[in-house]
A and B are shown apart, each in its own frame.
Chain A
Amino acid sequence: MSRQILSGLTLWLILVVAASGCDWGAAQPIEGTSTDSVGPTMATGVVVAVEGDLSAISSFSILLSDGETLVLVPQAGVLFDGEGPLSHLRDHLLSGEPVMVEFHQGADNLVAATVGDGE
């Protein structure tokens, strides 16, 4: 019985968290980007600037198809496509091949949680 109550409470908590998660999508939908109902914002664009060095990329900018530019700060520990060096962004700066970024609104800037090839 208590296990059933716990399960119910857990389910309720999950629903509450999921529902409030809709509000946590603090990054406003941006033209040229796509969002799901609860998650962070996804954007695909071409890299137009990369700040930092091989030790750490401090920020990078992507140009969206509608002409808007996003300046993003990578979340700590982010790798390119989950396994490559984030400095690989410079190769995309050279080549113009698009990248796909999952990001959210941080306290002072847009924070990139994942970065990978755009196609």
Chain B
Amino acid sequence: MRLVGPVVAIVLAAAACGGAQEPASQHVAQFPAESISIVANVDIALGSSRLLVAVAKGDGGRLGSPLDAIALEVAPVDQPELRQRADGVFVWIIEDSFGLYRADFDFDRSGIWTVTVVPGSGELLEPTFFAVGEDTIAPGVGDLAPTVKTPTAQSTPLAEITTDPNPDPRFYEISLDEAVRSGTTTVAVFSTPAFCRTATCGPLLDQAKELAPGYPEVNFVHVEIYAGFNEPDFVPDGDHLAPPVIGWSLPTEPWVFVIDETGVVTHRFEGILDAVELHAALAG
């Protein structure tokens, strides 16, 4: 992560030397020979799934930026000829600090797949393995959203509902089960800001809070990952998962789900959220 700044600076300097007529979007990404790729999401299954791929130097320092155009190629490990290719869209996790690439693929068979980062020039990165399941673990696109009750500010103080230090009351006005049945689009954010030390998952809720005013007709519901976080003997482990997290079978956190007016999941975002994605989901 510390290396991203200098790398971006070098990239910008190189772009400047290359001539002002070259648009930034045509920058040719090239990564050091020892670079690796890391698949950063888990719940990938048959059908259209979003793949998150981080590019890192040999010591793990993150590489990539919006200026570094790359493609991602995926293929079943036993049938490499069936590869698919898509442009990787860079998403900042922390603006101007570090991020990763996302791309959507249509996975037509379950099993072990590989993803290869294809920079604009230079060597391809070594393929990285990941698993494609028969079905998603958490609710998938097209599934009915589970209806699980969540506490609201009407009956519970905000400090007992959320670990967000700056909670937006709008996110605690309606129980998730009521929101799903309300006949209105719902954005459900599952995260636990207090236990996010690296600020990787905190921005996801903050992003949703920033977007919410632009969608006054949409239900926004924040759901904590753990229950009982105010109790003195609380431990954030598997025994303290909140009922909605269990009801939604979340394998990881954070998550954002978009549920349409009929209660069907239309979009799902694991790990990070690109504001562009949520805007597109709500516009669609």
A interface with B by C-beta (< 8 Å)? 45-46, 48-49, 53-56, 63, 65, 67, 77, 79-81, 83-88, 90-98, 117
Contact = CB atoms under 8 A, between A and B. Distances in A.
A70 to B, nearest CB: 13
B236 A91 contact: no
A91 B36 contact: no
Contact of B93 (A67, A83, A94): A94
Nearest to A86: B237
Nearest to B271: A94
Contacts of A90: 252-253, 271
A49 B131 CA distance: 12
Contacts of A67: 34, 58
A85 B197 CA distance: 10
Nearest to B250: A54
A92 B192 CA distance: 15
Contact of A54 (B36, B62, B235, B238): B238
Instruction: Assign chain B's interface to a size class.
Output: 35 or more
Is chain A's binding surface mostly helix, strand, loop or mixed?
Answer: mixed
Given A54-B241, A90-B271, A96 B197 contact: no
Contacts of B201: 91
A87 B236 CA distance: 9
A81 B195 CA distance: 11
B272 to A, nearest CB: 7
